[in-house]
Amino acid sequence: MDQKNFIYLDGEKIPHFHSLSGFAYKEVYRKSDWDKELPDPGQYPFTRGIHRDMYRGRLWTRRQQSGFGTPEQSNERIKYLLKIGQTGINMDTDIGTKLGLDPDHPLARADVGLQGTSLCTYEDIEALYADIPLDRVSSTLIVQPPCSAVIMSQYLLMAKERGIPWEKLIGTIMNCALTQFVGPTYESVTAFFPIDLTVKIGLDVMEYIVQRVPRWNIVNINAYNVRETGVDAVQEAAFSISLAADYIRRLMGRGLDVDRFAHRMAFFCAAHIDLFEEVAKLRAMRRIWARMLRETFGAKNERSLWFRTAIQTSALPLTAQQPLNNIVRATIQTLAAVLAGTQSIHTTGYDEAYSLPTEESHKLSIRTQQIIAYETKVVNSVDPLGGSYLVESLTDQLEEEILDLMKIIEDKGGFIQCFKDGWVEEQINQARYKMAEAIETGQQPVVGVNIFREEDEQVKINIFRHSSDMQEERVRYAQDYKKHRDTETVKRALHDLQDLVRQRPEENLFESIMKAVEARATLQEICDALRRATDFKIPS
């Protein structure tokens, strides 16, 4: 055995005392580090939480992402999750659906149903939501523009068909143009759609929904995917709030009052493994949002000032080595999310480094949250870490650095401009290399990987497997579907959409897209009409 395996006998020491994002933790925090007034939870600027009573009034929503294979298979999983105590639906779509490709497109075939459910027709969404009470359970639909316009249209038409008024629908369309794929990486955002049209259609969806589906969240900035590229807590917060600020400016530019829509904007953040830093990050984000909405955008309605966020426990610290360790990590991350006062949580499965979660792993994630909620008593008092010298001082520090970075982004023309200029891409790549180096050098210790590694480990893990004929089934379905409809109606609707984009590009495209859905155009056909209208070519 290698000698280096015995070093821990000489007294264990961690390599340094910096936070994951590089803040130096002090040996001890005292009154001299933080001595300020702290408004109560539910009071501006909401550092301690957006509600006075938080989890005493209502627990966070248990919202595990699901979605794989065919819509019928995903429907079964949703029903299973609701049966064991999930309280909200979080429906992920496969990559083809997000990129506007039907299952029968040659480049899409091998990815059909792998990372989410495959949706391309109106009938697909009906199958996905069979027997699900749309007015009683809130749904998050994970899809970004322009496909968000198509999926949202399908959802609204389904509600209409079932006789449920749109006023009663509760849920969220993620609908963020830049953050949905693997964070805001340039190639993934720009390869399948023209970027300006993508951003524009995202705003079209927001504008349409806010006026007609009052309880629906119009956008969810995917700060989680931003963080998962490897950037730090400050960048996660600054990038996502700066992007939200861009959306706010543009919606106000369309003549919408900020109080009409700000309370329907939300975030989806990461809870990484540095517990205090993550709590401080979310507390800082709440404060920054409240002040920005009031001071910069002049919001008057208190609800506009509420920074509402869903949390997923970050998958970056999870390891393929010794996968059971991931249960422990995810539990601590879930606790961080709860201590930070989030609105909903997805606890990442311990099998994440191998596959989509099995039913068993999904259940364990929900049980993790239920144990924290019902057994540990950490929910009994609101913002239990509030007033801690350490957490308050870290919250102040993070707030300051986030604001500094937001200022840099603003000076460069805003986040969307920074993205288009390649600046965001540069920041992300630097962060990725830094993250890899920190693990390589041991500066970021990871149990089972760069410390306490077992060289001859044989991983035994029960992993999720897709049914073998699922992809072929979806390809056949898409092909058959197109043969059995009134092609003239479809053609006309697509033609109208294309004309509208060409001739009146400023107009809101949502209704025209919905008409195409109603005519039974598929997701890709609608996206292709948008691509044709802008002479855009996809990879082949």
Among residues 63 and 227, whose Cβ is nearest to other proteins?
227
Distance, in Å, from the CA atom of 364 to the CA atom of 132, rounded to the nearest integer, reads: 23
**Which member of 99, 143, 366, 372 binds other proteins (CB under 8 A)?**
99
Select from 3-11, 180-188, 366-374, 413-421 the region that touches other proteins (CB under 8 A). 180-188
Among 92, 102, 111, 383, which residue interacts with other proteins (rule: CB under 8 A)? 111
Q: b or e along 227-261 (b: 16 or more beta carbons within 10 Å of the residue's beta carbon)?
A: bbbbbbbbbbbbbbbbbbbbbbebbbeeebebbbb
- Classified as helix, coil or strand, 450 is coil
Among 157, 327, 379, 461, binds other proteins (CB under 8 A): 461
Residues within window 307-326 making contact with other proteins, judged by CB under 8 A:
319-321
Q: Give the gyration radius of the chain's Cα atoms.
A: 23
**Helix residue ranges per DSSP H, 52-106:** 54-57, 71-83, 95-99
What's the closest the beta carbon of residue 115 comes to other proteins, in angstroms?
Answer: 5
Among 3, 32, 380, 540, binds other proteins (CB under 8 A): 540
Q: Position 214: which residue type?
A: P
Among the residue ranges 133-141, 204-212, 354-362, 383-391, the one whose residues contact other proteins (CB under 8 A): 354-362
Q: Is 358 in the site for other proteins (CB under 8 A)?
A: no
Minimum separation from the CB atom of position 67 to other proteins (A): 13
Size of the residue set binding other proteins (CB under 8 A): 43
143 touches other proteins by CB under 8 A = no
Closest CB 360 distance from other proteins, rounded Å: 16
Binding of other proteins at residue 451 (CB under 8 A)? no
∠ at Cα 476 (470, 478), nearest 5°?
Answer: 105
Task: Work out whether 101 is an interface residue with other proteins (CB under 8 A).
Answer: yes
Judged by CB under 8 A, the residue of 25, 297, 354, 423 near other proteins is 354
Whether the Cβ atoms of residue 180 and residue 225 lie closer than 8 Å to each other: yes
Q: How far apart are the first and last CA of the chain?
A: 51
Binding of other proteins at residue 181 (CB under 8 A)? Answer: yes
Other beta carbons within 10 Å of 488: 9
Least distance CB 424 / other proteins (angstroms): 14
Query: What does the alpha-carbon distance between residue 152 and residue 142 come to, in Å, rounded to a whole number?
Result: 10
Cβ closer to other proteins: 74 or 229?
Answer: 229
Which of residues 301 and 429 has its CB atom nearest to other proteins in the complex? 429
Phi, psi (rounded to 5 degrees) for 200? -65, -45
Among 126, 260, 448, 511, binds other proteins (CB under 8 A): 448
Q: Determine the longest span between alpha carbons in the chain, in angstroms.
A: 79
Pick from 110, 163, 411, 468: which binds other proteins (CB under 8 A)?
Answer: 110
CB of 442 to other proteins, least distance (A): 11
Distance CA 149, CA 193 (A): 14
Does residue 449 bind other proteins (CB under 8 A)?
A: yes
DSSP states of 199-247: HHHHHHHHHHHHHH-TTEE-EEEEHHHHHHTT--HHHHHHHHHHHHHHH
Return the axis-axis angle of helices 275-291 and 389-411, rounded to nearest 10°: 50
State the minimum distance, in angstroms, from the CB of residue 144 to other proteins.
12
Per the listing, tokens 């069979």 go with 130
Residues 6-25, mask of contacts with other proteins (x by CB under 8 A): --------------------
Residues 205-244 that bind other proteins (CB under 8 A): 228-230
Closest CA to 208 of 263, 260, 165, 142: 260
Least separation, in Å, of the C-beta of 20 and other proteins?
Answer: 16
Question: What are the beta bridge partners of residue 65?
Answer: 90
Residue 380 or 540 having the CB closest to other proteins: 540
Residues 263-292 that bind other proteins (CB under 8 A): none
Residues 388-447 contacting other proteins, CB under 8 A: 429, 432-433, 436, 440, 446
Cα dihedral across residues 226, 231, 232, 238: positive or negative:
negative
Token digits of residue 394: 């870290």
Shortest Cβ distance from residue 155 to other proteins (Å)? 23
Interface residues with other proteins (CB under 8 A)?
Answer: 95-96, 99, 101, 106-108, 110-111, 114-115, 181-182, 185, 187-188, 191, 228-230, 319-321, 353-356, 429, 432-433, 436, 440, 446, 448-450, 458-459, 461, 463, 466, 539-540
